[in-house]
């Protein structure tokens, strides 16, 4: 697998990313680095732009300006961007959605091999073997032939993770992977993500799970009003935040009543 990696050169580098939807400026000026083999969690109030940050990284939302580099693919969004270049950028990362977005008309196994076989044209037998390993890794080996509707929310989300891993990306992106789940199912998904972190996957995770962010992250970004208000190791950003706004946010989310 090409995924887990270590080294000092940042795998992902984001500089001056801006994004507006109509008149609404969602990202004002976003810059950060993610070193290879590390985990970055993105936190912030709803509407802060944290999901949009993630979605610009694989051009699901195309940035209006700024430079995004993943591995050896660099895209300057201030210039007109070729579709082939966007496709190359996208191929660098695997994405896990809040609402899993599995293909309902395909079985679990078919969901996982769709990218490798249909898009990457890998031999089907190899793709199936690898998919089965990945499903075992997320604890769903025996669900391979079921349809998504036959699974629980947490299981669906873990299939979503396997589907993204099957593309052998450099970078894994998670968009609030547990926000749509029943509380009792959250743990299974977080455990899988923690295992990936331990294996050395480079990941960017948008999350509301502060305790999880604390345990798994090497770097925490606090985003508010479309800018990175505060960033650093979790002990600093979550433990001794410098900004009053960060302290207020953490107080609200950790002690909501």
Partner 1 sequence: MDASTWELIWRNLWPMLVATVTQTIPLTLISFSIGLVLALFVALARLSSITPLSLLARGYISLIRGTPLLVQLFIVFYGLPQFGIVMDPFPAAVVAFSLNVGGYAAEVIRAAILSIPKGQWEAAQTIGMGYVLTLRRVILPQAARTAVPPLSNTLISLVKDTSLASTILVTELLRVAQLAAAPTFDFFALYGVAAVYYWVVCLILSFAQNRVEERLERYVAR
Shortest reach from residue 121's CB to partner 1, in Å: 11
Q: Please name the residues in contact with 206: beta carbons below 8 A apart, sequence gap of 6 or more.
A: 41, 42, 43, 50, 51, 53, 54, 174, 175, 176
Which position among 2, 8, 105, 125 is part of the footprint of partner 1 (CB under 8 A)? 105
CB 207 within 8 A of CB 176: yes
Q: What is the DSSP string of 30-53?
A: EEEEEETT-EEEEE--TTSSHHHH
Which position among 115, 154, 226, 241 is part of the footprint of partner 1 (CB under 8 A)? 115
Shortest reach from residue 247's CB to partner 1, in Å: 35
CA torsion 3→108→177→91, rounded to 10°?
A: 40
How far apart CA 253 and CA 29 sit, in angstroms, is 25
Closer residue to partner 1 (CB): 2 or 8: 2
Q: Map residue 67 onto helix, strand or coil.
A: strand
Which position among 24, 78, 87, 129 is part of the footprint of partner 1 (CB under 8 A)? 87
Pairing state between β 73-76 and 65-70: antiparallel
Residues 145-174 vs partner 1: string with x where CB under 8 A?
--xxxx------------xx--x-------
Q: Is 21 in the site for partner 1 (CB under 8 A)?
A: no
How many residues sit close enough to partner 1 to count as binding (CB under 8 A)?
A: 28
User: Which tokens sit at 176?
Assistant: 């609030």
Which position among 3, 94, 177, 226 is part of the footprint of partner 1 (CB under 8 A)? 94
Residues in touch with partner 1 (CB under 8 A):
58, 60, 87, 90-91, 93-95, 97, 99, 101-106, 114-115, 118-120, 147-150, 163-164, 167
């Amino acid at each position: 697998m090409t995924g887990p990696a270590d080294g000092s050169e940042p795998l992902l580098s984001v500089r001056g990313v801006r994004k507006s939807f109509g008149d609404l400026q969602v990202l004002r000026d976003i810059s950060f680095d993610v070193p290879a083999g590390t985990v970055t969690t993105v936190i912030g109030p709803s509407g802060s732009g944290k999901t949009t940050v993630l979605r610009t990284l694989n051009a699901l939302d195309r940035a209006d300006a700024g430079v995004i580099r993943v591995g050896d693919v660099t895209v300057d969004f201030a210039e007109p961007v070729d579709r082939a270049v966007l496709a190359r950028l996208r191929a660098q990362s695997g994405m896990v959605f809040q609402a899993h977005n599995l293909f309902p008309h395909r079985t679990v196994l078919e969901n996982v091999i769709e990218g490798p076989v249909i898009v990457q044209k890998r031999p089907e037998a190899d793709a199936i073997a690898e998919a089965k390993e990945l499903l075992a890794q997320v604890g769903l080996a025996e669900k391979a032939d079921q349809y998504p509707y036959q699974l629980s929310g947490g299981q669906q989300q873990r299939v979503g993770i396997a589907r993204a891993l099957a593309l052998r990306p450099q970078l894994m992106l998670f968009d609030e992977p547990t926000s749509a789940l029943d509380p009792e199912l959250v743990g299974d998904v977080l455990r899988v993500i923690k295992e990936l972190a331990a294996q050395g996957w480079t990941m960017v995770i948008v999350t509301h799970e502060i305790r999880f962010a604390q345990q798994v992250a090497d770097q925490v970004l606090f985003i508010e009003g479309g800018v990175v208000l505060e960033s650093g190791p979790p002990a600093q950003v979550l433990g001794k935040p410098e900004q009053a706004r960060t302290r207020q946010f953490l107080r609200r989310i950790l002690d909501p009543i």
